[in-house]
């Protein structure tokens, strides 16, 4: 895995990886104390030789697509047995998406399969998304059930919660050690606990239930340095009319995203497009790129005549309308915007 100046990581090429595993690792394996691995090379490097003095392991870039092929068969058969043989590990971080057969990854699983096999382990951090397919189960695991499994994790602050997506017949359990130190948080639902995540720069908001004003306020406060945001929600807001009838209510603060540079609203109901473009609801900087469908934008702005969306539209740095251009009568509405 190669590191670049922007903190991104890229896998080694196949020839470089082969040479590394066949020639270099057997020569230096006894001196290796830490390995940072990404999904494409993880198995080859871990099985290339023994690591008698390994005390730290990081797994990176294990995305959901690779998890389908890698972890359904290999989590219990490869990863867990491998970690159980690394009794000298003192520091371990797991950052993975896991598709499970029957149960979520929880505190009991981590303790039984990993922690109890590592007597020297002093620092264990993790960021684990585990997914299950819903098959008409009656007794569904709750967030409180998951939290209870971490009762013996005295040295860590653990965030855990469960989402059920009945339309998609899927469920997700998200567990991680706090503070959250990764740049991307992944999918965020209404169950997000509202903790401060100052390192996160990219999120996707997704749910089968509406996002209300309070949710967006919580998001802006929890991710103060957010740069990229996507919304995937087709459900209209329920409290919108009630909020608009109380416009003089000073308790409804304008939501501010000071560092936001990209907003994607292709899969968002019109209410969420309005949420970001109405300057009485949301403050945007002058450096935002917007991805949105032309017809949706035209509806929300009342054919580019609506006053409350004019200011934020004029602020947009650039705009992509899925291949459409702006009609001539709308160009003044986006006076500082480059249409891509």
Domain boundaries, the chain: 1-125, 180-340
Q: Which sign, positive or negative, has the C-alpha torsion 318, 324, 328, 329?
A: negative
**Range with the lowest mean pLDDT among 147-151, 201-205, 239-243?**
239-243
Task: Give whole-number Cα distances, 221 to 194, 290, 314, in Å.
Answer: 8, 21, 25
pLDDT score for 175:
96
Stated length of the chain:
340
3 state DSSP class of 85: coil
Number of helices and strands in the chain (H, E): 12, 17
Give percent above pLDDT 70 in the chain: 86
pLDDT score for 64:
45
DSSP conformation class of 87? T
pTM of the model: 0.78
Output phi, psi for 37, to 5 deg: -125, 145
pLDDT score for 86:
77
Looking at per-residue confidence, does 18 or 302 come out higher?
A: 302
pLDDT score for 244:
60
Quick check: 2 and 61 in contact, CB under 8 A?
A: no
pLDDT in tens, 16-27: 888 888 888 888
**Of the ranges 57-71, 100-114, 218-232, the best mean pLDDT one:** 218-232
Give dist(CA 277, CA 14) in Å, integer.
47
Looking at per-residue confidence, does 264 or 13 come out higher?
A: 264
Burial of residue 69, with CB atoms counted within 10 A of its CB: 0-12 exposed, 13-18 middle, 19 or more buried: exposed
**Range with the lowest mean pLDDT among 21-30, 64-73, 260-269?**
64-73
| Averaged pLDDT for residues 114-134 | 90
Task: Quote the distance between the C-alpha of residue 286 and its chain's center.
Answer: 25
pLDDT score for 323:
87
Looking at per-residue confidence, does 301 or 323 come out higher?
A: 301
Give dist(CA 99, CA 73) in Å, integer.
9
Looking at per-residue confidence, does 94 or 241 come out higher?
A: 94
pLDDT score for 44:
80
Task: Quote the distance between the C-alpha of residue 76 and its chain's center.
Answer: 24
Q: 57 pairs with which residues across the strands?
A: 35, 92
* Res 301 pLDDT > 90: yes
CA angle 226, 232, 234 (to 5 degrees): 140
Confidence of residue 318 (pLDDT cuts 50, 70, 90): very high
* Res 4 pLDDT > 50: no
pLDDT score for 172:
95
Nearest-CA neighbor of 224 among 178, 190, 258? Answer: 258
Confidence of residue 329 (pLDDT cuts 50, 70, 90): very high
Quick check: 233 and 210 in contact, CB under 8 A?
A: yes
- The beta-carbon contacts of 180-189 under 8 Å, at least 24 apart in sequence, are 180/127, 182/95, 182/127, 183/7, 185/223, 186/129, 187/163, 188/219, 189/163
Confidence of residue 2 (pLDDT cuts 50, 70, 90): very low
b/e code 161-174 from CB counts within 10 Å (16+ = b):
bbbbbeeeeebbbb
Average pLDDT in the chain: 86
* Res 12 pLDDT > 80: no
**Range with the lowest mean pLDDT among 50-54, 198-202, 246-250, 281-285?**
246-250
Nearest-CA neighbor of 274 among 320, 246, 307? Answer: 307
- DSSP track, 98-162: EE-SSS---HHHHHHHTGGG-TT--EEEEEEEEEEE--S-SSPPPHHHHHHTTTT-TT-EEEEEE
Q: What does the block give as tokens for 80? A: 């867990």
* Res 5 pLDDT > 90: no
Residues 6+ apart with CB under 8 A from 105: 98, 128, 130, 173, 175
| Averaged pLDDT for residues 40-52 | 77
* Res 56 pLDDT > 70: no
């Amino acid at each position: 895995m190669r590191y670049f100046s922007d903190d991104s990581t890229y896998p080694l090429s196949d020839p470089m990886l082969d040479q590394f595993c066949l020639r270099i690792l057997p020569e230096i394996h006894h001196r290796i104390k830490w390995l940072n691995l990404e999904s494409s090379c993880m198995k080859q490097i871990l099985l290339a030789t023994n690591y008698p003095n390994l005390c730290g392991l990081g797994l990176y870039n294990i995305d959901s697509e690779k998890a389908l092929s890698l972890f359904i068969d290999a989590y219990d058969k490869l990863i867990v047995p491998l970690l159980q043989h690394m009794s000298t590990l003192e520091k371990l971080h797991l950052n993975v998406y896991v598709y499970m057969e029957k149960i979520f990854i929880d505190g009991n699983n981590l303790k039984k399969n990993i922690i109890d096999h590592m007597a020297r382990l002093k620092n264990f951090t993790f960021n684990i998304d585990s997914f299950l397919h819903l098959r008409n189960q009656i007794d569904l695991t709750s967030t409180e059930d998951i939290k209870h499994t971490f009762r013996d994790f005295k040295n860590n602050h653990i965030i855990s919660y469960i989402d059920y997506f009945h339309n998609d017949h899927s469920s997700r359990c998200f567990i991680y050690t706090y503070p959250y130190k990764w740049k991307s948080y992944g999918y965020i639902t209404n169950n997000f606990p509202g903790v401060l995540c100052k390192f996160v720069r990219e999120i996707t908001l997704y749910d089968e239930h509406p996002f209300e004003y309070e949710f967006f306020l919580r998001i802006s406060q929890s991710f103060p340095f957010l740069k990229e945001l996507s919304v995937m929600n087709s459900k209209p807001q329920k409290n919108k009319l009630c909020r608009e009838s109380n416009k003089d209510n000073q308790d409804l603060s304008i939501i501010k995203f000071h560092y936001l540079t990209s907003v994607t609203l292709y899969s968002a109901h019109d209410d969420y497009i309005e949420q970001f473009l109405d300057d009485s609801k949301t403050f945007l900087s002058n450096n935002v790129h917007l991805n949105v469908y032309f017809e949706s934008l035209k509806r929300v702005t009342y054919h580019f005549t609506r006053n409350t969306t004019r200011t934020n539209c004029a602020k947009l740095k650039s705009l992509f309308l899925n291949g459409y251009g702006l009609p001539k009568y709308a160009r003044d509405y986006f006076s500082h915007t480059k249409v891509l």
